[in-house]
Amino acid sequence: ASRPMARASAVFGGATYTSFKLQQELACRSAEKCFSLVAQDFEKHFGRFYGLVEPFHLDDAEYVFVMSNSFATKGKSAVLKLRQQGVKAGLLKLRLFRPFPSEAIASALAGHPKVAVIDQNLAPGMGGITYPEIVASLYTRKDRPEKILSVIGGLGGKDMDDQDFMAIIEHLDGPDERTPLYLYGEKDVSDFNRLQQIAKWKGALP
């Protein structure tokens, strides 16, 4: 952090370029071990451990929300409320995306029957970017979840409420779905239409 720099490889032919890319790949993969060492050192100094992933009420969870960044705070709150209602919910927060901590994720999700990967992003034509990474991490595992649902929500900072998380639970209990669950309901459509009308009134739209 004290010596920021940017580097690029000059292309002197396929063999040289491949060598540069392989070095880049190995360096990226070594970051996972470095991350873990830093987390251990941080724990020694401050008494708190921040690993590659953070499990939250996972021990007996039948439904697991996979989330990342500060957005996971909403998920934790929902988990606590769902448990008060007798629903065995849990959450797995991702702290590292590259290199993708496949082994840590697979171990954390092993034995949990139903998983919802909640992406706060959308790659047009692809869906959420985290979902396929999770599926790939679990593909060869015999103890992988019975169902993994792709969920798109929170785009542009849009809030997720308790009803959204309950809807996810209902979809996890329903039939398998080939397309993502988009958390975009009638109220969102109404709000968008209202803004369109305001824009027309202000002359911002034809």
pLDDT tens string 40-93? 999 999 999 999 999 999 999 999 999 999 999 999 999 999 999 999 999 999
Please state the rounded mean pLDDT for residues 177-191: 89
**Cβ 53 vs Cβ 95: under 8 Å:** yes
Structure tokens given for 89: 């919910």
Q: Inform me whether the pLDDT recorded for 200 exceeds 80.
A: no
**Cβ 116 vs Cβ 147: under 8 Å:** no
| pLDDT, tens only, 146-173 | 999 999 999 998 999 999 999 999 999 9
Query: Within 13 Å and on the Cβ side, how many CA atoms surround 59?
Result: 2
**Cβ 93 vs Cβ 58: under 8 Å:** no
3-state secondary structure of 202: helix
DSSP state of 93: E
Counted residue by residue, the chain has a size of 206
What is the torsion angle, in degrees rounded to the nearest 10, for the CA atoms of residue 139, residue 148, residue 91 and residue 51? 20
Determine what percent of the chain falls in helix, strand and coil, rounding each to the nearest 5.
Answer: 45, 15, 40
Q: Give strand pairing partners of 127.
A: 123
**Residue 124 exposed, middle or buried by CB count within 10 Å (0-12, 13-18, 19+):** exposed
- In Å, how far are 6, 34, 61 from 28, measured between CA atoms? 15, 10, 32
Q: Which residue has the tokens 């792709």?
A: 150
Distance CA 47, CA 34 (A): 19
Domain assignments of the chain as residue spans, ordered by start: 11-49, 53-188
Please state the rounded mean pLDDT for residues 173-177: 92
Q: How confident is the model at residue 202 (pLDDT cuts 50, 70, 90)?
A: low
Q: How confident is the model at residue 194 (pLDDT cuts 50, 70, 90)?
A: confident
**Cβ 135 vs Cβ 109: under 8 Å:** no
Distance CA 56, CA 130 (A): 19
Fold of the CATH domain 53-188: Rossmann fold (3.40.50)
pLDDT reported for residue 92: 99
| pLDDT, tens only, 98-126 | 999 999 999 999 999 999 999 999 999 99
Pairing mode, strands 89-94 and 53-56 = antiparallel
